[in-house]
């Protein structure tokens, strides 16, 4: 019997699609939802399922930003064969995304036993939700919003890319929350920070999903729940991306800070009263 039913996969797909790119932690919300549905959150196949359905959300980014991605890949390809074109910003940016992905891949492979084990505890999620909120609030206070997407540098990409490690090690911190906050601290405007977060997340999240696919299928999750969860994640994530880009153009991230603190405190309460098992 599959560790996750088709009905549960639909719910988890919605949660993944809504939260993957909002700075609220998709991993944290998935673990909380799994716990409330009685799913064993530290089961290897369940951890793998969560990573695989992220591919649906990533596919939504590929579709939504298709023109941008084609532009970057085209500039990268032209620059490879023509030295004179290597000074174009799009060519450089494509390389920066590649290099900025290396640190999280290395840490992810080295720390996988911890990530799948002790660091997957809901206690860690609760603490990370609140700790990440503090970082986001500080970023909003420090941000000067002076630089646009065209002002992004190699250093920006590496620093923001490395910040993804926080979310990898501390589920609940939020990958998008960490990357957007870091970009804001480096004085990028909110839209540029959000778009940079999307682009930097593409390689790492896609790679993680494909890497975990064998575990999800081979250790207890059926093909049907995986397919359903991934498709639902794609549809919901596409709508979430469109909404977020409109929201950040006119609003701060303070609403997300408050929301994360409330969810973190509620989670602490549920764990303390044994309503949820860590």
Burial class (CB in 10 A: 0-12, 13-18, 19+), 191: middle
Task: Region of 27 please: left (phi>0), alpha (psi -120 to 50) or beta.
Answer: alpha
| Mean pLDDT on 74-101 | 93
Phi, psi of 147 (to 5 degrees): -125, 145
| Mean pLDDT on 190-217 | 81
Output the DSSP codes for 132-183.
HHHHHHHHHHH----B-GGG--HHHHHHHHHTHHHHHHSTTS-HHHHHHHHH
pLDDT by residue (tens digit) across 12-26? 999 999 998 899 888
Cα 18 off chain centre by: 11
pLDDT by residue (tens digit) across 24-71? 888 788 888 888 888 877 777 777 788 788 888 888 989 999 999 999
Q: With 90 as the cut, is the pLDDT of residue 122 above it?
A: no
Confidence label for 168 from pLDDT (cuts 50, 70 and 90): confident
Please tell me what DSSP assigns to residue 121. S
pLDDT by residue (tens digit) across 128-166? 999 999 999 999 999 999 999 999 999 999 999 999 999
Identify which of 8, 1, 3 has the alpha carbon closest to the alpha carbon of residue 228: 8
Q: What is the pTM assigned to this prediction? A: 0.86
CB 106 within 8 A of CB 165: no
How far apart CA 237 and CA 223 sit, in angstroms, is 21
Average model confidence (pLDDT) for the chain? 88
Q: What are the b/e assignments for 113-146, b being 16+ CB within 10 Å?
A: eebbeebbbbebbbbbbbbbbebbbebbeebeee
Burial class (CB in 10 A: 0-12, 13-18, 19+), 71: middle
CB 259 within 8 A of CB 205: no
Least confident of 41-50, 169-178, 268-277: 41-50
Confidence label for 278 from pLDDT (cuts 50, 70 and 90): low
Task: Look up residue 244 and give its two tokens.
Answer: 């977020």
Q: With 70 as the cut, is the pLDDT of residue 77 above it?
A: yes
CB 53 within 8 A of CB 226: yes
| Mean pLDDT on 186-198 | 93
Phi, psi of 174 (to 5 degrees): 90, 120
3-state secondary structure of 188: strand
């Amino acid at each position: 019997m599959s560790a996750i039913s088709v009905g549960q996969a639909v719910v988890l797909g919605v949660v993944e699609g809504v939260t993957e790119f909002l700075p609220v932690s998709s991993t944290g919300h998935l673990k909380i939802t799994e716990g409330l549905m009685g799913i064993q959150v530290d089961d290897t196949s369940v951890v793998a399922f969560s990573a695989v359905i992220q591919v649906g959300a990533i596919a939504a980014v590929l579709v939504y930003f298709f023109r941008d991605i084609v532009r970057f890949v085209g500039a990268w390809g032209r620059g490879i064969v023509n030295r004179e074109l290597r000074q174009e910003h799009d060519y450089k940016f494509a390389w920066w995304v590649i290099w900025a992905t290396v640190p999280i891949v290395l840490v992810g492979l080295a720390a996988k036993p911890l990530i799948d084990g002790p660091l997957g505890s809901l206690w860690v999620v609760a603490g990370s939700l609140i700790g990440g909120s503090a970082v986001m609030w500080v970023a909003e206070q420090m941000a000067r919003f002076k630089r646009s997407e065209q002002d992004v540098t190699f250093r920006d990409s590496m620093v923001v890319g490395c910040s993804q490690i926080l979310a990898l090690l501390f589920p609940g911190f939020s990958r998008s929350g960490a990357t957007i906050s870091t970009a804001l601290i480096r004085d990028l405007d909110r839209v540029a920070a959000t778009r940079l977060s999307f682009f930097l997340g593409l390689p790492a999240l896609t790679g993680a999903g494909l890497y975990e696919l064998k575990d999800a299928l081979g250790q207890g999750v059926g093909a049907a729940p995986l397919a359903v969860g991934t498709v639902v994640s794609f549809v919901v994530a596409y709508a979430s991306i469109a909404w977020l880009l409109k929201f950040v153009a006119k609003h701060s991230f303070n609403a997300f800070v408050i929301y994360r603190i409330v969810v973190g405190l509620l989670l602490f309460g549920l764990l303390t009263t044994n309503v949820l098992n860590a």
